[in-house]
Chain A
Amino acid sequence: MSDHERWSEDVAAYMLGALEPEEAAALEHHAEGCERCRAEIRWLTPALDALPESVEREQPPAELRARLLAEVRADVGAGAAAGASRGAAKPGLAERASAWVRELGSGPMGLRPVAGVAVAVLVVAAVAGFAIGGGIGSDSSDKTSTLLYGEPPGVTAKMVSEGDSGTLHLANVKPLPSDRVLEAWVQRDGEVEAVEALFVPDREGRASTELPDMEGVEAVMVTTEPEGGSESPTSAPIVTIPIQ
C-alpha cells in the first residue's frame, strides 16, 4: 500500500470529524504535500456540505434572534462607550455615577455604601485549594476566589476573582426588553465607575461579564440601561455585591 493509499483510507473519516485530533493533524500534514489527497478532499467537500443542509428545518424562536441582536448591539455600544470614555474626563463620570448612588441611597431602593455594612452572603469559598477565612474576599493571598451572593428567586451573583480581575456571573435575571441591556459598575473609594461592559441575559436568565480592574473595588453593581449603555446609571441596581 502506498503512502497516499494509506492516508486516503482516512479522508472520509477526516472530513466527517471522526478522526482523533492527532490523527487529523497527521492527515492534514500529509495532505499538504499530497495533491491526490487534496483532490479527494475537494471532490468530497460538496457531499460533506450537503449533510447539514439535509436536516429538517426547524423554526428558531424569535427570542433567540432578539437575544442575539441585543448582545450584538450591546457589543457595539460597549465599543463606542469605550472609545468615548477614553477621551472623556473620568472624574466627571465617576462624580455623576456617585451622585446617582447617593440619590438612590436616600430613595426607596435604599442603596447604601456597602463597605463595612453587614450583608447577606450565602457562601464565600476559595477555589484551587485555598481557604478564605472570615469575611467577604478577606483572603488576599489566594489566586482565585469565588463569592456567591443573593438568594433565589431573586438575582444571584457569582463573583470569580483572580488577581486584579474578575468575572461576574448572574442568574435569575428577568428577561429584558430588546432595547435594554445590563451594564456593570464598580464602587471604588466611594465613587461609582462604569465598567464599560454591556451584556444581556440568556434564555435561562444567566448573564456574565468580565471585570478587568478589580483593584480597590468595594462593590459591584449591575443596572439595566438603554441599548448602547449609559455614561452613568439611570436605574436602580438589580444586584449590588459587596466585595470588601
Chain B
Amino acid sequence: MTVKREKAERLADEELMPLIGEKDPEAFEVFYDRHGGVAYSLAYRIVGERAAAEDVTQEAFISIWRSGARFDRARGSVRSWMLSIVRNRAIDALRSRAGKAPKLAFDDDAILEQRPAEELTEEEAMRHETASEIRGALGELPGEQSKVIELAYFGGFSQSEISRMLGVPLGTVKGRMRLGLEKIRGRLAEGLA
C-alpha cells in the first residue's frame, strides 16, 4: 500500500520512516526531496568530488530504503540519523581512495549566493540561513579547535592520527575537540544570536 505524494508531504520524517520500511516509493520520494540536498552537500564536502558524492548519496539512500524500519527515534532525529549514514559512507569512500586529501575549510559562500532566491522554498531558505549561521559560529572558533573538529568529522581521522599530524599531544587534541564542541553548543543554546 502506498500513500499519495500530497499526503506524504504532510507527514513528519518520523511518520515517513515506517512507510519507507513498508516499501512505499512515494514516502521515499518525499524523504529524498526533503533531505537529498543536504545529504549530497555533506557527501561532496567530505569526498570533494561530485561523482563520488553522487555515489555516496545514492548508496546511503538505498541503504535507508532497504533498512528504513531500523530507524530508532530514541536515538535522535531522522535527519541526523540519515546524515550520520551519509557521513559514514563518505568517510569510507574517502579512506578507500588513497592519496586523495579531504577538503578542509569552512569557507566560500559563493555557491549559495549564486543560486537564485526563487529556487529556494521557504523551508530551504530557513535551513540555508541556519547553515550560514552555524558556519559563522564555527568560523568564530579558534583555529586549532575548528581544525581538529574538521579533521575528525569531515576528514575521518582518529584523535591519534590528528595528534600525529599536528604534532601535538593526544590530550591536547581531546581538549580542543571538547572545547570546540562546547562552544558550538553554547552558541546554539544562545540561539546563534
Contact = CB atoms under 8 A, between A and B. Distances in A.
Contacts of A9: 171, 174-175, 178
Given A19-B159, A46-B188, A12 B174 contact: yes
Given A18-B157, A51-B149, A55-B41, A13 B177 contact: yes
Nearest to A51: B153
Given A9-B174, A57-B111, A203-B51, A49 B91 contact: no
Contact of B162 (A18, A20, A49, A51): A18
Interface string A23-67: 000000000000000000001111111111111111111011101
28 contacts: A9-B171, A13-B173, A13-B177, A16-B181, A17-B156, A18-B157, A18-B162, A43-B185, A44-B185, A46-B185, A49-B77, A49-B83, A51-B149, A51-B184, A53-B38, A53-B127, A54-B135, A54-B138, A55-B42, A57-B41, A57-B128, A58-B37, A58-B40, A58-B111, A68-B58, A72-B62, A76-B25, A202-B55
A48 B181 contact: yes
Interface residues of B, number: 70
Contacts of B174: 9-10, 12-13
Contact of A12 (B44, B53, B61, B181): B181
Interface string A99-112: 00000000000000
Contacts of B138: 51, 54
Contacts of A71: 58, 62, 65
Contact of A18 (B33, B51, B106, B159): B159
B6 interface: no
Given A9-B178, A72-B28, A76-B25, A56 B185 contact: no
Contacts of A10: 159, 174
Interface string B50-69: 11011101100110011000
B38 A55 contact: yes
Interface of A: 9-13, 15-20, 43-61, 63-65, 67-69, 71-73, 75-76, 79, 202-204
Contacts of B50: 58, 61
B134 A16 contact: no
Contact of B158 (A11, A18, A53, A60): A18
Contacts of B25: 69, 72-73, 76
Nearest to A63: B54
B163 to A, nearest CB: 10
Interface of B: 23, 25, 28-29, 32-33, 36-42, 44-45, 50-51, 53-55, 57-58, 61-62, 65-66, 76-77, 80, 83, 86-88, 91, 106, 108-109, 111-112, 115, 127-128, 130-131, 134-135, 137-138, 149, 152-154, 156-160, 162, 171, 173-175, 177-178, 180-182, 184-185, 188
Given A16-B177, A18-B162, A45 B153 contact: no
B152 A69 contact: no
A72 to B, nearest CB: 5
Nearest to B119: A59
Contact of A57 (B37, B54, B66, B91): B37
Given A44-B185, A67-B58, A72-B65, A56 B152 contact: no
Contacts of A17: 87-88, 91, 152-153, 156
A52 B37 CA distance: 12
Given A9-B171, A13-B174, A55-B42, 11 more contacts: A10-B159, A17-B156, A19-B158, A48-B181, A50-B188, A52-B38, A52-B86, A56-B41, A57-B37, A69-B29, A73-B25
A212 B13 CA distance: 35
A79 B23 CA distance: 9
Nearest to B157: A18
Nearest to A13: B159
B65 to A, nearest CB: 6
A64 B152 contact: no
